[in-house]
Amino acid sequence: MNFTSTKLIWTRQPKDFSISDNKIEIITAPHTDLWQRTYYNFQNDNAPVLQTQTDEKFFSFVLKTEFASKHRFDQCGVVVYLDSENWLKASIEYENETMQHLGSVVTNAGYSDWATTEIPADIKSMWYRLSRRNNDFCIENSADGTHFKQMRICHLNKANAAINFGIYACSPEESSFRATFSHLEIQECCWQAHDGQQPDPQS
């Protein structure tokens, strides 16, 4: 299955962007972000999000990101945005000239978390693979688009039926950069059913 550019829907369309069959580019605007409440106590919900919709319960979505980020918190990546208080995202967030954060945020019922690992600041491209099994999701990343490593397994409470998923880019502070998305593809679910420890018996 292909990620068809003709069926994409914007949540907050940016001023500067381009869409073709082979790639999508977004020029971020300053003071755009996605975050809900936790720790920082603010609610930011103004990042541009470009998605398609599916009611398929088992699939994987692969994409490559390339980015000219240069200011703290500049970011772009994969997203499942259901509404302002229920979503997940995975990206690289620029920190400084030395390091940046490869990580993910999961937001359920209006509260976000943030799980990260530090990587060198000179990395300017990353692949992601998002897989869905019902309400559960697996997020992976890859340097070459072939060998993927698990970042996170998570749950979205409201991902019960059809969901929207796609890409996002933003600059939470006084910054702007070009984010390029390519090799967008919907695949058969690469995240296999669990066959290890059995669930606890229900009482």
**Which H/E stretch holds residue 82?**
strand 75-83
Q: What is the pLDDT of residues 133-177, one digit of tens each?
A: 999 999 999 999 999 999 999 999 999 999 999 999 999 999 999
Residue 191 reports pLDDT greater than 90:
yes
Q: What CATH number does residue 153 fall under?
A: 2.60.120.200
Residue 199 reports pLDDT greater than 80:
no
Name the nearest CA neighbour of 114 among 141, 166, 152. Answer: 152
Name the nearest CA neighbour of 35 among 166, 167, 172. Answer: 172
Looking at residue 194, its pLDDT comes to 84
Looking at residue 18, its pLDDT comes to 97
* 145: in domain: yes
* 41: in domain: yes
Domains in the chain: how many in total? 1
CB within 8 Å of 183: residues ≥ 6 apart: 62, 63, 64, 127, 145
Name the nearest CA neighbour of 38 among 117, 115, 110, 94. Answer: 110
Whole-number Å distance between alpha carbons of 33 and 113: 14
Looking at residue 41, its pLDDT comes to 83
Mean of pLDDT over the chain: 95
Q: Are 138 and 155 in contact (CB under 8 A)?
A: no
**The one-letter amino acid at 141:** N
Looking at residue 5, its pLDDT comes to 76
* 72: in domain: yes
* 199: in domain: no
Using the CB atoms, write b or e for 39-51: b if 16+ within 10 Å.
Answer: eeeeebbbbbbbb
CA dihedral 61, 100, 75, 16 (to 10 degrees): -120
SS3 133: strand
* 96: in domain: yes
Name the nearest CA neighbour of 65 among 170, 154, 190, 138. Answer: 170
Q: Are 131 and 148 in contact (CB under 8 A)?
A: no
Alpha-carbon Rg for the chain in angstroms: 16
* 31: in domain: yes
* 74: in domain: yes
* 202: in domain: no
Q: What is the pLDDT of residues 6-15, one digit of tens each?
A: 789 999 999 9
Helices and strands, number each (H, E), in the chain? 0, 17
Domain of 134 in residue numbering reads as 5-187
Q: What is the pLDDT of residues 1-37, one digit of tens each?
A: 567 777 899 999 999 999 998 999 999 999 999 999 9
**Sole residue written with tokens 């992976």:** 140
